[in-house]
Amino acid sequence: MQTDRMSGSLSGGFADPARDAARAFRAVLEAMARPGTIHAMAGALPPGPCSPAAGAVLLTLADRTTPVHLAPSHDRPELRDWIAFHTGAPIVAAEGATFALGDWPGLQPLDRFAVGLPDYPDRSATLIVEMPALEPAGARLTGPGIRDAAWLSLPEVAAFAANRALFPLGFDTILTAGDRLAALPRTTRVEAA
């Protein structure tokens, strides 16, 4: 059983690491620059319940200097091994995370995650929230990178509105579902539709 688990952690990474990572980085960059837009992410096949999009984000952005927190929904030995083998990122408690991966209920309470410091607002966490689906409907988004308004299915509105009120502090969010992702930077204003 241990051998099967370990052999599974060796597979599922990018087939063409340089090109796949460049495509994934571009998709994350576009999603952050244009909140509410939904982008395809391919190339990663992490162990469940981690989606291909979330796996590609971790393969692209995580390394041994970026601690990752796994919510209970995702804290499985197979996924820990996969992250360790492919990225070298340490698995840590929520308070020490640069990235946090899980479903919305599993990531609660959000006040455990770093929101930066007044002199260093970039020292904050990025939440990778696994969603059942991503749709251009639901909450109304406005702010930098959005021409007039955009709409995105979010797990809730109040937490993201409260996060925006902390600006320039706050966490950033990448939402994933299957092979799709969208982003919600802390600069985005979120209102119920």
Alpha-carbon Rg for the chain in angstroms: 16
Q: What is the model's pLDDT at position 16?
A: 79
pLDDT, position 14: 78
Q: Around Cβ 71, how many Cβ atoms within 10 Å?
A: 20
pTM: 0.92
Q: Which residues of the chain have pLDDT under 70?
A: 1-11
Write a three-state SS string for 11-48: CCCCCCHHHHHHHHHHHHHHHHHCCCCCEECCCCCCCC
Q: What is the pLDDT of residue 10?
A: 67
Domains assigned to the chain: 2-183 (3.40.50.11310)
Structure tokens at 2: 């241990």
Instruction: Encode pLDDT of 23-59 as tens digits.
Output: 999 999 999 999 999 999 888 999 999 999 999 999 9
